[in-house]
Chains A and B, each alone.
Chain A
Amino acid sequence: MHNKPNNSPIKIIKNGASVQVTWDGDVLNCDSDTIIKQIAAQMSNTVKQLGFAAPAHGQWDSSLLSVLFGAVQEAQRHNIAVDLTALPQNLQDLVHLALAVDRKPQHKENMQFGFLGTIGAGTVKIWTAVNNVLGFIGEVFISLLRFFSFRSVMRGIDFLAALDDCGPKALGIVALISFLVGLILAFVGAVQLQTFGAQIYVASLVTIGMCRIMGAIMVGIIMAGRTGSAYAATIGTMQVNEELDALETMGLPKVDFLVLPRLLALVLAMPILTMLADFMGMIGGAFVGVFLLDLPYQEYWKYAINAFNLKNFMVGIFHGFCFGFIISMCGCYCGLTCGRNADSVGVATTRSVVNAVVWMIVITGIITVICQEIGV
């Protein structure tokens, strides 16, 4: 029986107890998967031998080698003897090389769970994650206690470097984004307020919006992307470079050494950056009010100052403080739990930003409800 796969020079000939695979001329870019399946289909119980015959000078590529490799493996699976002797020597050598396994693959853990198994595995995963996070928070608080009792091994220079990075170096981007947010807020508000002839209240809208929450949120998002991710990447890279192992074997508390300076710096810098964001947002609002809505400059600031409320301002600053804590904790935790390859550093960086943003929104919700309850 002859069988020739479509558009392929390879012929499969079954002759009693023997299957012969032959071809003439060149074999390039053949559909190896289909051909292997067609060869395998000929391997019934009566077949005792698989043979190959080929021209000595035809051209071929890896697709032919793949056919030979697949066919031989199929034959071995069916306990069929294989005769490669009619193949060119280089092809024989390559097939033998591919078959010469020096090590069997290790048994891979079967990760296929049933319904209950999936729930169980998920629960264990969540429980482990919660445990790890709570452990980390506990370590940070113990480290803070050590710091306030002057027993911490935190290096002052690390704190100053972190403060420089998340303070002065972040001023530009925070100022620019906050100015633009104030501008957008004023634009959006002005469209609605103009219909009532109340465009002067743009000043109040921008002042209350920026001071109460928007300033802190914008700074939080900027710093999560800029500084939190940098924390995760730096500490993650230290993991890859075995620097964290070195710290551990030297008995230096990782939290004191790596987390504390970053945490203190960001917690200190965030309220200040929030103040700057509030101010820049108000300037952005004033820009729209004065230059686009033609409001008198003095009038705009009079309304803005009237709308300014110390309670709102302090709520914003408190948000900034909490966000600083969240961003540094997320960044450092993701860095410390990073894997030991380059890909893991990318994953840790992404996770730090996503976690920080999610937790900032959750905390904002909680603070808003509490403020509502206590009438702030």
Chain B
Amino acid sequence: MKKEVQIDVKDLTVGYGDYVLLHDANYQVNKGDIFIIMGGSGCGKSSMLRILTGLLPPLKGQVIISGVDIASAPAKEVQKIREKSGILYQSGALFSSMTLAENIMLPLQQYSDYSPATMRELAALKLALVGLKGFDDFYPSEISGGMKKRAGLARALALDPQIVYFDEPSAGLDPISSRNLDDLIIELNRSLGTTIVVVTHELASIFAIGNNSIFLDAATKTIMARGDPKELLKNPPNQAVYEFLTRGEKK
């Protein structure tokens, strides 16, 4: 059965001004995929994420999300797409002046008509879903780095998004917290059917969660490989991909 395409990237050129990081990128993310954007440092992974989330305009090309080209659509249309997306930033990006519950309630206040009491209930539920039951009234400064990421994920899930983007979810986490976060991503994908897009270069996470991927190469500024990361490891298309997926082993 053919899967529904949720994100369709066509002839995308990523960069800043005259400085091109990646050119003519074409790929699709299917609904329900856990899609990995991987590559070495400086290959344009995070810039690609900023384009997918509408924070950075592409130099060229189209990014069609749920049928809307966010590169050329009016701001209101782009905002509607954003409402259906959640983002977990590298640092969690929680607002330090608010409690965890208030952080999660913020998008609900903006986009829903729930009563304050219901919003609080929903915030408590989202926190419980990410393993932070009872931490509603904690401030970001009172919890650990791993918990901040979980709380950031709870906020990303506040509006029941169709797509959740993760920017380096394992960065700065110990192996166990990182593994727990990976398990959480898989569980959310399985139980909610959410499409997940993860930008990372953590091999353990890539193999644990990814079922589709693209490999960005800084030298050629292109997508050098695509497909299931485990398959790419079995049949690497070239030396660069093999070295990346084996932590620099020579073939």
Contacts and interface: CB of A to CB of B under 8 A. Distances in A.
Contact of A246 (B54, B79, B89, B110): B89
A158 interface: yes
Nearest to B21: A106
A249 B219 CA distance: 31
A158 B93 contact: no
A242 B82 contact: no
B5 interface: no
Most buried by B among A109, A158, A246, A252: A246
Contact of A252 (B18, B50, B94, B106): B106
A153 B106 CA distance: 10
Interface residues of B, number: 28
B219 A250 contact: no
Contacts of B111: 251
Given A242-B89, A251-B82, A153 B110 contact: yes
Nearest to B107: A250
A19 to B, nearest CB: 34
B55 A252 contact: no
Interface in A325-367: none
Contacts of A251: 79, 82-83, 107, 110-111
A242 B50 CA distance: 11
Given A103-B218, A106-B19, A251-B82, A245 B110 contact: no
Contact of A250 (B94, B97, B110): B110
Given A109-B18, A153-B110, A252-B110, A161 B97 contact: yes
A158 B87 contact: no
A243 interface: yes
Contacts of B94: 243
Contacts of A252: 106-107, 110
A355 B93 CA distance: 29
A103 B85 CA distance: 36
Interface in A172-213: none
A83 interface: no
Given A158-B97, A161-B97, A249 B218 contact: no
Contacts of A24: none
Interface in A97-122: 103, 106, 109
A241 interface: yes
B109 A249 contact: no
A339 to B, nearest CB: 13
A249 B54 contact: yes
B27 interface: no
A61 interface: no
B106 A250 contact: yes
B180 interface: no
Contacts of A93: none
A294 interface: no
Contact of A249 (B18, B85, B96, B97): B85
A33 interface: no
Contacts of B82: 249-251
B82 to A, nearest CB: 5
Interface string B104-123: 00110111000000000000
A125 to B, nearest CB: 14
A164 interface: no
A165 to B, nearest CB: 11
Contacts of B18: 109
A299 interface: no
Contacts of A242: 89-91, 93
Contacts of A246: 87, 89, 93, 95, 155
Interface of A: 103, 106, 109, 153, 158, 161, 238, 241-243, 245-246, 248-252
25 contacts: A103-B219, A106-B19, A109-B18, A238-B95, A241-B91, A241-B93, A242-B91, A242-B93, A243-B93, A245-B89, A245-B93, A246-B87, A246-B93, A246-B95, A248-B55, A249-B54, A249-B55, A249-B82, A249-B87, A250-B82, A250-B106, A250-B107, A251-B82, A251-B107, A252-B106
Which 9 pairs of residues, A with B, have the shortest CB-CB distance? A246-B93, A242-B93, A242-B89, A251-B79, A250-B107, A243-B93, A241-B91, A249-B87, A249-B53
Given A245-B87, A248-B55, A249-B82, 9 more contacts: A109-B18, A238-B95, A241-B91, A243-B94, A246-B89, A246-B93, A249-B53, A249-B87, A250-B82
Interface of B: 17-19, 50, 53-55, 79, 82-83, 85, 87, 89-91, 93-97, 106-107, 109-111, 155, 218-219
